[in-house]
Amino acid sequence: MFASRHPFIFSFLIVVIVIICFFAAALFFLGGSDSAFEFGDKVGVVEVKGIITDAKSVVKHLKEFRKDESVKVIVLRIDSPGGGVAPSQEIYNEVAKTVLVKKVVASMGSVAASGGYYIAAGADHIMANPGTITGSIGVIMEFVNVEDIIKKIGLAAEIIKSGPYKDIGSPLRKMTPEERMLLQEFIDNVHRQFVDVVASERNITMEKIESIADGRIFSGEQAKKLGLIDSLGGLEDAIAMAAKLGGIKGEPIVSYPKKKRFSVLEYLLGRSVEDLFHTISGNPFQKFGYLCRPFVWSSSQVVE
């Protein structure tokens, strides 16, 4: 037997195999992060991609980098036309908490509009490309009315409700003037929350913000002239700026959050099951949010 004839070589091989297995397991659980075994001061990059429907992962990554002592500064990379009001506000609130501990630089990609701009507003510094689509400060709520189609195919809707406004926004009937007024008041209130955040964070007068907070979009170049962003540049420029703000000397180590374990089922299905549920449930408010509507269809995700 080889083990009995060469005990030292056999033992050495066993140790080598154990070490290889250990590092393979470590790489697996760390998600294959490129910077997992790099030591030194790091710039953490948190990405926000597609339509914002859930804040959980972004908030989680911000918290992780905030607690990681090796991460000295954070870049929030945004490529999003916005999304839901609540998740946009949750991410913004987490950014606001983070800037109290570490510097945050918002880097805008192709689109960082509406809710995408909202979450950037809390950063210490906002950078966009000259042609980045941003702005779109506003709120949208969309409804579909299928009453005439229902009548044409010989169907009728029967609704039992506890109050006159319980089925507000129903696709089965036309909206009343009173309902439209109530929803407009609601939209105005949520819009005011957006405007207040931008005016406060960007130190711009309310009068100036209100004059441009009508849903219009801006290029990065236009946004800089208006004071909505601080400088022009791409992701690499934002990382360099962040390293400078974080006091990192030399070439910074760039760290991304640990990758989520690959799921074949999730890859094949994507968000289709969740989208199907929302379609069947017929939630009339599923198209409500800080959303830049013209650029939704170019997003990598589907509207919730």
User: Catalytic pick from 151, 166, 208, 225?
Assistant: 166
Length in residues, the chain: 304
User: Catalytic pick from 35, 114, 170, 255?
Assistant: 114
Strand partners, 74: 44, 104
Say how far apart CA 64 and CA 47 lie, in whole Å. 13
Structure tokens at 185: 């008041």
Is 114 labeled as catalytic in the residue annotation? yes
Is 259 labeled as catalytic in the residue annotation? no
HEC string of the chain equals: CHHHHCHHHHHHHHHHHHHHHHHHHHHHHCCCCCCCCCCCCEEEEEEEECCECCCHHHHHHHHHHHHCCCEEEEEEEEEECEECHHHHHHHHHHHHHHCCCCEEEEEEEEEEECHHHHHHCCCCEEEECCCCEEECCCCEECCCCCHHHHHHCCCCCCCCCCCCCCCCCCCCCCCCHHHHHHHHHHHHHHHHHHHHHHHHHHCCCHHHHHHHCCCCEEEHHHHHHHCCCCEECCHHHHHHHHHHHCCCCCCCEEECCCCCCCCHHHHHHCCHHHHHHHHHHCCCCCCEEEECHHHCCCCCCCCC
Say how far apart CA 63 and CA 44 lie, in whole Å. 11
Residues annotated as catalytic are 114, 166
